[in-house]
Structure 1
Amino acid sequence: MRDHDGRAERAAHLQRLLFGGVYGTVLASALAAALDHEAGPDAPGYDAVWVLLAALASAAAHGYAHTIARQTTEKTAVTAGTVRSVLAEWPLLAAVLPTVAALLGSHAGWWGEGAAIDVALALNTLALFGWGFWAARVAGRGRAAACRVGGVDMLLGLFIIGANVLSK
């Protein structure tokens, strides 16, 4: 029984990791694509902080929602479990770091903000492929099936890039 509980716990951890990675990557891509400074000067430092704060708020909201859902079904108190649930959303925060790093590179003067956004969108699209591929492999799928799953995940990134191009 103990081994089964350990496997279930590992599976739940992996599921949260994969969910947070995909969700955070899509969130970072959507936020980066929405950055537009046509009415004023570029502000990549501000934008990097904004992306990070939006991800932090999303992670906190998601973790808190998990706690509320458990409280509703299990009739438990919202206490330290809330903090643990919010902290378990770290993969979402980690997934936005490439976008934040690209924007901070622009803030440091290494490249323009437009280039930082383009790089972030490209990296995030590749990351989405990786998340999908990894999830499929963990689920026991072969390489070809994992590539298909990764390709479908990658379509999310390509959709955001296409919407970004069309909206500008």
Structure 2
Amino acid sequence: MSAILSPRPLIKENDVKATLLSPDFLRVSQPKTFRHSIDVYLKDSNATGNIYFARHFEWQGICRERWFFECVSADMLQSLGVFITKEAQQKYVSETFAFQKIDCEVNTFGVKHCSFSLLFRFFVGGELVAVGHQQIVFANKEKKIARLPDHILAKIREYEVEKGE
């Protein structure tokens, strides 16, 4: 095997500099973030108008299901198996009240072949009011942990952030 060396460069130096400094080349791909809004009513609150803490877990479920439906698989992969919530946590940053609009952002982190975690951030008027996560495991129809299909893993990774973000 031999190589042919060209006496002149195939790409001019200025072309290389322009390519390396172009906005498209410098752009680091950012993960997608799923957003869903929830309206809060009196039924969600106690007598003083504070929102019951358990509602945040309900909202995690609502946002998780909407994310699966819109972004991953509308049938929730029911023909292949089930998603199991292995762990869930919620940290409350500040109180929420009836008639506020809760905006939820969902991302993934810790994506592996059979599991991943969902990160939930809840905002009111742009201010963080709660943050939580769920670890999700995929199991086949026999309820044994199974590998997620590659095309589903690719969709899940589109939303992946570092855990600390």
* TM > 0.5: no
Structure number with the higher helix fraction is 1
Structure number with the higher strand fraction is 2
Structure with bigger gyration radius = 2
Larger relative contact order (C-alpha < 8 A, sep ≥ 6)?
A: 1
- TM-score, with structure 2 as normaliser: 0.29
